[in-house]
Amino acid sequence: MYALAYRIGQRRSKESRLSALGFRLSALGFGCESLEPKAESLYPDTVPELPEVETIAQGLNKRVSGDMIDSVWIGSRPQPLKSPAVTIAATLEGGRIVRVHRAGKHIVFDLETAGEGFDKRKSSGRKETRQAASLHRARERNAQWIVHLGMTGRMVVSDPAAEIAKHTHLIAKLSSGRELRFIDPRMFGKVSVSPAGFDPGGVEPLEVGEDQFTALFWGRKTPIKSALLNQKLLRGVGNIYADEALFRAGIRPRRRAAAISREQYRKLHQTVQEVLREAIALGGSSISDYVDADGEEGFFQLRHRVYGREGEPCLVCRTAIKRVVLTGRSSHYCPKCQK
């Protein structure tokens, strides 16, 4: 099956026979399907945020850093591929995984590549794409494999003998004998490759200083919750942690960013970083089907003070938590504690 450097568009016949409830693997990534039916998620459209992606990246780094990618299989569906399939396969094939880390909401595999994949592709007579040509010129330098999980994407480390889950879009066979599999039922996740130096845009919230943080939002007319979710400003912060940080800072999500004082921004800067670090330490929030690198659920959802608690009493003042919709996203707040 892996005789060539890559297989593109070839579907294994047994995949079509898999049940939607499929398999149980030792999960490494966003979710692990059980053999038992699951109850419908309360938040089916929840996207993994910075703490969940950080937890997954750390787990992957512990398990696969130093391993070599012997060969790659890519499915026929184009939706999950942000780079051309031939470029992805040629870049990954023969590469050594130096490190796995997070950039915004992306999982980034740093690779040492020798470039043999490009030589094989050229000798097969395939036409070289512009991106492939760029990577070919840079083949002696490092490259990066970038994965965005979307809503339902997962990266799992699996035994090759394990059944292939439905909606598996990429399989990287490792020299250790294991496989890295990218699975995504809804296909909102994306897989791409690039030369080293991937930048998702925005500022890293765990590294930004107070003055720079304030400058990002100062004078903006949009609601502060919407501004916090703008990945071009602050990368990685999503719905859950924006709600929780705003509650701790005492700021309502509908407040215009321009109407917030410097002292309130100082507090918000502190609470954003506080909430994110607490969530990472607890393995993220398992409010959908998220599990960490060891197949374990996160526990930060047990510390949610407002998110997902509409109608329940505030843990500080006992006022009922309210829910509003801003730019299509649910926002939760306490009408008494937040002004």
Q: What are phi and psi of 262, to 5 degrees?
A: -65, -35
Q: Is residue 272 classed as helix, strand or coil in its secondary structure?
A: helix
Q: Which of 102, 105, 225, 252 is catalytic?
A: 105
Would residue 154 show up in a list of annotated catalytic residues for this protein? no
Exposure b/e, 287-302, CB count within 10 A at least 16 = b? bbbbbbbebeebebbe
Whole-number Å distance between alpha carbons of 272 and 219? 19
Contact yes or no for 83/144 (Cβ under 8 A): no
Whole-number Å distance between alpha carbons of 140 and 316? 57
Residue type, 232: K
Q: Which of 7, 48, 181, 223 is catalytic?
A: 48
Contact yes or no for 328/335 (Cβ under 8 A): no
Whole-number Å distance between alpha carbons of 49 and 29? 13
Would residue 11 show up in a list of annotated catalytic residues for this protein? no
- CA end-to-end span of the chain, whole Å? 61
Would residue 309 show up in a list of annotated catalytic residues for this protein? no
Exposure b/e, 242-258, CB count within 10 A at least 16 = b? bbbbbbbbbbbbebebe
Q: Is residue 14 classed as helix, strand or coil in its secondary structure?
A: helix
Q: Name which of 47, 50, 30 is nearest 104 in CA terms.
A: 50
Q: Which of 24, 96, 99, 329 is catalytic?
A: 329
Q: Which of 33, 49, 54, 179 is catalytic?
A: 49
Would residue 49 show up in a list of annotated catalytic residues for this protein? yes
Q: Is residue 203 classed as helix, strand or coil in its secondary structure?
A: strand
Whole-number Å distance between alpha carbons of 296 and 111? 27
Contact yes or no for 218/257 (Cβ under 8 A): yes
Residues assigned a catalytic role: 48-49, 105, 329
